[in-house]
Structure 1
Amino acid sequence: MRNAVKATAVECQESHDLCRLAQFWYVALLVQVGELDAGWRALDAIKTRRDAPESPRVAAASHAVRGKLLFAMGGIDDAIAEIEVGLRIAERSGVRPLLAPCYTVMALGALRRADMRVCFDFVDRLAVEALLGYFGQAAGAWVTAQAVESRSGVASAADLVSGIVTSPFVLRQLLVSEPAAASWLVRISGKLDAPDLAEMSVAAAFAASDEHPRFRVIRGSALHAAGLLEGDSGRLREAADLYPDRWCRASALEDMAGLLAKRYSEKDKAIRVLESARGAYNAVGARRDASRVVSKLREFGVRRGAVRTVECADILPHGLTKTEFAVADLVSQGYSNDEVGRQLFISRHTVAFHLKKVFQKVNVASRVELAATWKVR
């Protein structure tokens, strides 16, 4: 970070690409460590100094960094719009170093919006970048593991998770760049019955926090992971208060509610905390996460509406409801009823009920027919 500050302090009168790119590199570092207000100030400062036509590299970096900043602040839709522009420029101009970071944000954004078609499109692009030697992004491996677990279950992501946690360089890079990663690694390690991986993740998260004591987001990430591992709701509350990222804060609250729910006397408090998490997820457009919380609230007898759907038009084809549309879209991609239920946080029996309605409305008799005739966008 000190080197980045020094680089941006140098005044360049000729507006070289590398000098401009150093400014965006600095903003990207500020976003990475959760200094979001400082990131906006630095980005605005770059804007006021523009006095020459932008090269494709600079233009692509400008949109990509702005998108990453918007994403961290919870504006998923605006972030994706910015990154799409940056990607078009980068792909057209051959600016390969920007592709993997942009693909990662696009895949993660699609995952949070429950748009699995788009998510796996970008996961596939990440795989191509890895084959071509341009991957090098721990965050890309992490979002790929999330997508694989979401589609095929936790066991299918075991090797990816183990590879991330047991590689000190990859794990360190991930924990200082993605505040949501440490808690996810602990959560999935628990599902895999791999306490050693969870403990390694927490130890690495605290090591990162000790190495960067001034950054609250890294401390919050470590506390979140430790609170999950130790079953300590106090640490989860502290993590939620430290996070500048609204999605991460909602995640810590959701995990906190899970611990409170285990104690009957804390049921009402658990419901209130879940409601806060649901509101935060909805506020940042994380439809998939909001749906998961709605499912948990339903277990308490609290019914709340949520949009369980991929991105789709306001007027849906064939008179489908939004849930029917989501079921049809996933089934058309080859997902089983169990897998669809896991995506939408409904039972496989409910999936079968909606699928029957889809067949009637679309006028098909089988999943194969549906896949052959289904078109989105």
Structure 2
Amino acid sequence: MILSPLNEDATDEQVLRRIVGSAPDRELLDFAAGAGGDHRMLVEFTLGLLEEDLLEIHGGTARLVERRIPLRVLALVKHRLDDLSASCRHFLQVAAALGMSFMLEDVSRMLHRSSASLLSPLDEAIISGIVVADELWLSFPNEFLLQGIIESIPAPARVALQREAAEHLTGNFTAYANPFSATERPVPVSGHPGALSAGAGKSIEDVCSPAHSLIMDGRAKAGIRAAERILTDPESSSAARLDAEASVILGHTLLGVVEDEGHAQRILRQRGVEQGDLVTLMASTAVSDALWRAGQLGESLRLGRTAVRYSGDADPVWRMHVQLALAGKLTDLREFEQAEALIDDAEAGLHGLPTRIWNAAPAVVRARLFLQAGRFGDARREAESAIAATGPHAVPVLRPLAHSVLSTVALYIGDLPTAAEHLHRAQSELAADRTALPSAQYAWTELRIAVKRDGPRAAVDLFAGKYRDLPTQRSLYIEDPVAAPFLVRLALDVGDTGLRRSVLETVDALAADNPGISVVGLGALHANAVANGDAAGLSHIIARSPDPIAVALATEELAKIYRCKAPARRRGIASLPSEPAPVGAEEVTAPQLNPACWAGLSDMERRIAYLVSVGMTNRLIGREVHLSAHTVNYHLRKIYRKLGINTRVELASGAATYSSRAAIYSTETEGNPGSGRAGGAAG
């Protein structure tokens, strides 16, 4: 694309509109702001979005398909780094670990060199425009540049740098953003983005009580005892007593004390929810959490939203619990935008405190959101950041959940050793004398690893032992709707009719109790479709499910159904008919496609491939993905080129083969479908 010179005063919106030919929506403009006004960076960013099919045009508006910095931007940054000396590149990589703004003395401390010895690489960085200086602070001019530098660091070194940077920053209590989040800006304080917060250097006790701090450290029983001492002390102030009562509710909730639910309900009956009242806010959250686990989702959401609405005047350290609790529930429902807004608000509240604490809490909840959204790289970065947090930034009560996220990500990308390692770390945290956030994910992660490593029979032993109640645990199917079809497939493979019946009865009752919750309904439909070999039900999941893993699993199941039905003599058909037709019938002679090629498809291209696999026409596909039939055909041609194929039959077969990698354990062996061998991974 050839562009005439851009006006230096052109806004981001004008540049985007000129290249894309449509008006950018708010999210696209917000993402483009990461170029920091650098027109060349913005042009490369926009062209990269077009090249990688990260934009869709609908109704004259350009929208993001996936929020990911294009390779063109990273290549531009790499080109700029290649023009620098090795010492300057090294300086910039270490500085990038500290965030958008940093001090020279922090870099010198991490490099174990004097500040004087760094003047030469610093001068080179400033002359090149990669670093700008402002009195005592140095900073990168835009977020894309920062992310490009971070991406230039070898992956194994990133975590080590992140951990070391967190240790330095914890010691200084400086208001840096998460060093490995390119979309997050340092919080402006006192007129400078890197300045210390007012009152910096204060102790944690200045922003949270000892009881609250003990609970967040995973020592809930000790925290409750500390709070009870406050409550029995007649000299305690009313504010201290409110904090102590809220701490008791929080501690009991984390410990899973059933009696506390009744206590919280009594508080709500007697006092209702009051603006800024810590006790009623935490009581509402505790009851909301209990209702969620029991599968009463509508009432749980009502209480959770009420608590958030009345939390505006509460201290940020307490408001965070209310916001993150609701964010987790919205994540389960795939309401990602609302959930992320709550996480951002909670994080902003923590950043505004005199002393920065508990940065890991929003990071863990955001990591789980990214995992559910299929953004595995982002999920891994957030979870690693949370685990690496030390001192006041760490939240040990959430660390097992962060390890569970990392274990699941490793499973989905086929790295079983890493998945097992993070499972072991999560179990070590849970076995220690510390409290952890209750979650079905710990058992679910162990079960999937056992099945992948040892085959579906390994689950039988776990269900006969410590996880005998897992199949009837409603919270499992709420937290992960894919669990139901997965367990039904496992039950079919091992011939366990009891397991099949337990799963279906549980998810059917859950869906019946929550008729307005589409994710729950789709999970029940998916499980029943697997149990009954229902091709229409599986096709509906492929077309409508917001979960990429559910779509992949349904595609694999549908391919198996058609393969079993297809006569062996059917071969060599060149194309699918315009109406839905059996997919697996032609697969016997379809070429084997390289999984790496499939991994190179965009999310939109993979979704179109899956819809092709159920025999949809371009017009029907267009309705599902909100594109014209012509645009769908354009995407299909690109898919064919990327995969080196020519027909819809080959594409449908490839989609079925590729999707089987998402099943955690493959249900096929060569020439013997349905044997249930361990292997495979999600793409």
- Find the residue that maps to 2:564 and give its secondary structure: coil
1:125-155 alpha-carbon deviations (Å, 9 max, x no partner): 2322342364643221111111111112222
Which has the higher relative contact order, 1 or 2, with Cα contacts under 8 A spaced 6 or more apart? 1
Which residue among 100, 103, 108 is the counterpart of 2:408?
A: 108
Work out the CA distance in 1 between the residues paired with 2:493 and 2:350: 50
Query: Match for 1:208 among 503, 510, 527?
Result: 510
Q: CA deviation at 1:124?
A: 0.8
Q: Who is 2:461 aligned against? A: 159
Q: Is the 8 A contact 1:151 1:343 kept in 2?
A: yes
Match of 2:269 in 1: none
- Contact 1:141–1:164 (Cα < 8 Å) also in 2: no
- Within 5 Å, give how 1:42-53 maps onto structure 2: 42-46=342-346, 52-53=352-353
Alignment deviations for residues 182-231 of structure 1 (CA, whole Å, 9 cap, x no partner): 11111111122101101110111111112222221111111111001111
Please report the TM-score for the alignment, with normalisation by the length of structure 2.
Answer: 0.39
Q: Tell me what 2:317 maps to.
A: 17
Going from structure 1 to structure 2, the CA distance change for 1:18 and 1:92 (only over 3 Å counts) comes to closer
- Given that residues 182 and 205 in structure 1 are in contact (C-alpha distance below 8 angstroms), is that contact kept between their aligned partners in structure 2? yes
Distance in 2 between the 1:81 and 1:127 partners? 21
The change in CA–CA distance for 1:56 and 1:115 in structure 2 (over 3 A counts) is farther
Aligned-partner Cα distance in 2 for 1:304–1:252 = 9
Report matched runs for 1:212-251 at 5 Å.
212-251=514-553
Compute the displacement of 1:101 (Å).
1.7
Range moving further from structure 2, 155-164 or 187-196: 155-164
Structure 2 CA distance for aligned equivalents of residues 140 and 84 of structure 1: 17
Give the distance between the partners of 1:11 and 1:232, measured in 2 at CA: 47
* Cα 1:119/1:10, change in 2 over 3 Å: same
User: Partner of 1:56: helix, strand, or coil?
Assistant: coil
CA distance in 1 between counterparts of 2:586 and 2:310 reads 52
Q: Does 1:176 align with 2:176?
A: no
Matched residue SS, 1:239: helix
* 1:86 aligned onto 2:422: no
CA distance in 2, matches of 1:49, 1:301: 50
Query: What residue number does 2:448 align with?
Result: 146
* Structure 2 match to 1:6: 306
Between the aligned partners of 1:50 and 1:105, the Cα distance in structure 2 is 23
Alpha-carbon distance in structure 1 between the residues aligned to 2:471 and 2:486 = 18
Residue number among 399, 402, 406 corresponding to 1:99 in the alignment:
399
* CA deviation vs aligned residue, 1:12-49 (integer Å, no higher than 9, x gap): 34633111231122111100122223323434555666
Number of equivalenced pairs: 300
Q: Structure 1 residue 68 and structure 2 residue 368: aligned?
A: yes
Please say if residues 350 and 356 of structure 2, whose CA atoms lie closer than 8 Å, have aligned partners that are also in contact.
no
Per-residue deviation, residues 340-371 of structure 1 (Å, max 9, x unmatched): x94359xxxxxxxxxxxxxxxxxxxxxxxxxx
Q: Structure 1 residues 65-74 or 175-184, which shifts more? A: 65-74
Give the one of 180, 185, 202 matched to 2:487.
185
Q: Matches of 2:367 and 2:304 in 1, distance apart?
A: 20
Q: Is 2:497 the counterpart of 1:195?
A: yes
One-letter identity of the residue aligned with 1:78: D
TM-score for the superposition, normalised by structure 1 = 0.68
Matched, 1:343 2:643: no
CA contact (8 A) 2:331 2:369 kept: yes
Q: 1:187 to 1:268 in 2, by over 3 A?
A: closer
Question: Counterpart of 1:143 in 2: which secondary structure?
Answer: helix
Range with bigger deviation, 42-51 or 170-179: 42-51
Which amino acid counterpart does residue 56 of structure 1 have in structure 2? I
Question: Hey, which of these two has a bigger chunk of helix by percent?
Answer: 1
SS of the equivalent of 1:262 reads: helix
Q: State the distance in 2 between where 1:112 and 1:32 align.
A: 18
Letter in 2 for 1:238: H
Alignment of 1:250-265 (within 5 A): 250-264=552-566
Q: Which residue identity lines up with residue 7 of structure 1 in the other structure?
A: A
1:149–1:155 CA contact under 8 A, matched in 2: yes
8 Å contact 1:90–1:99 — kept in the other structure? no
Q: Please state how far the C-alpha of 1:70 moved relative to its aligned partner.
A: 1.4
**How many Å separate the matches in 2 of 1:247 and 1:262?**
23
Once residues 241 and 192 of structure 1 are traced to their aligned partners in structure 2, the CA distance between those partners, rounded to angstroms, is 29
Shift of 1:11: 4.1
Q: Does the 8 Å contact 2:376/2:409 carry over to 1?
A: yes
> Given the superposition, is the C-alpha separation of residues 213 and 68 from structure 1 closer, same or farther in structure 2, using an over 3 Å criterion?
same
Q: List per-residue Cα deviations over 1:202-261 (Å, max 9, x = no partner).
A: 111111112222221111111111001111111122233342122222222222222122
Q: Does structure 2 conserve the Cα–Cα contact (< 8 Å) formed by 1:185 and 1:198?
A: yes
Measured after TM superposition, the shift of residue 106 of structure 1 is 1.0
Q: In 2 relative to 1, CA 40–303 (structure 1 residues): closer, same or farther, beyond 3 Å?
A: closer
Partner of 1:332: none
SS of alignment partner, residue 186 of structure 1:
helix
- CA RMSD, 1 decimal: 3.9
Choose the corresponding residue for 1:131, options 414, 431, 439.
Answer: 431
Structure 1 residues 107 and 245, CA, compared in 2 at 3 Å: closer, same or farther? Answer: same
Flag the structure with larger Rg. 2
Q: Is the 8 A contact 1:90 1:96 kept in 2?
A: no
Distance across 2 between alignment mates of 1:254 and 1:164: 30
Indicate yes or no: 2:392 matched with 1:56: no
Q: Structure 1: which amino acid aligns with 2:327?
A: V
How far did residue 169 of structure 1 move?
8.7
Q: What is the 5 A alignment of 1:281-320? A: 283=602
> Any stretches of 5+ residues in structure 2 without a counterpart?
1-300, 568-580, 604-612, 614-642, 644-648, 662-676
